[in-house]
């Protein structure tokens, strides 16, 4: 019988073995890339400070009474420089030596006393639009407390509106309950900061 000579199997080089060991199907690599969560960069939040309530009153004086910045600061017993720095870009002038003017709106944060269903509560109000709204609401509230005619209609105009995230109370029954509990009596709109009101 003739012997059948088989050819010896070729030995794979180490490089081929290494490639076979670490090689993965392209499909799996795509899935792996999809599974990797993307890193989201979070910028550090800048802490917004609460502004001195005297600044809000001084800005209000300039808007309502058309007084100068120095007069508005004087009314609040505050230096003009302090008022100017605290108001920031909401006080401006057209050139050096020109009078300071106030912008019609601002986004300064103030702590204000707002009437809620549980009584007065100090909340952060972050713009002049809400501050103005609350001043107007307070006028209607004072009409109600004084028993004046038209108070109910005046309060109804504020139905559904919010200040500092709290809905303004316009329900007469609830206001009567708060009044009888002595929860509608408080001094001023703004919460004192650092002992200054």
User: Which of 102, 129, 161 corresponds to the end of one domain?
Assistant: 102
Please check the confidence at residue 110 and state whether its pLDDT lies above 90: yes
Does any domain span residue 36? no
CA angle 76, 78, 82 (to 5 degrees): 135
Same domain, 98 and 142: no
Mean pLDDT of 37-47: 42
Is 61 among the domain residues? yes
Do residue 114 and residue 149 come from a single domain? yes
**124 and 176 both lie in a single domain:** yes
Q: Is residue 33 part of a domain?
A: no
Residue 68 and residue 115 share a domain: no
* Residues 149 and 165 reside in one and the same domain: yes
Are 134 and 161 part of one and the same domain? yes
Q: What's residue 42's pLDDT? A: 39
Does residue 134 surpass a pLDDT of 90? yes
Q: Which domain holds residue 57?
A: 53-102
pTM of the model: 0.69
125 and 93 within one domain: no
pLDDT band with cut points at 50, 70 and 90 for residue 191:
confident
Q: For residues 98 and 145, state if they share a domain.
A: no
Condensed to tens digits (0 to 9), the pLDDT of residues 43-59 reads 344 445 788 999 999 99
Is 190 in contact with 113 (CB distance < 8 Å)? yes
Helix (H, G, I), strand (E, B) or coil at 167: strand
Tokens for 103? Answer: 């912008």
Number of domains in the chain: 2
What one-character DSSP code corresponds to residue 139? H
171 and 120 share a domain?
yes
114 and 176 part of one domain: yes
pLDDT of residue 69: 97
Alpha-carbon distance 156 to 182, whole Å?
Answer: 22
Give me the percent of the chain exceeding a pLDDT of 90.
66
């Amino acid at each position: 019988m003739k012997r059948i000579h088989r050819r010896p199997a070729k030995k794979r080089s180490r490089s081929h073995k290494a490639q076979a060991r670490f090689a993965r199907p392209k499909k799996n690599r795509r899935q792996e890339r999809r599974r990797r969560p993307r890193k989201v960069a979070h910028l550090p939040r800048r802490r917004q400070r609460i502004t001195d309530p005297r600044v809000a009153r001084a800005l209000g004086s300039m808007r309502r009474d058309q007084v100068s910045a120095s007069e508005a600061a004087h009314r609040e017993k505050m230096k003009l420089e302090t008022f100017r720095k605290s108001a920031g870009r909401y006080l401006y002038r057209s050139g050096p030596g020109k009078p300071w003017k106030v912008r019609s709106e601002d986004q300064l944060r103030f702590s204000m006393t707002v009437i809620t269903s549980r009584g007065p509560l100090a909340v952060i109000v972050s713009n002049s639009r809400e501050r103005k709204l609350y001043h107007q609401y307070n006028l209607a509230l004072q009409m109600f407390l004084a028993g004046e005619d038209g108070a109910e209609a005046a309060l109804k105009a504020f139905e559904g509106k919010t200040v500092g995230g709290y809905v303004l109370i316009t329900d007469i029954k609830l206001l009567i309950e708060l009044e009888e509990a002595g929860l509608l009596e408080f001094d001023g709109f703004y919460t004192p900061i650092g002992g200054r009101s």
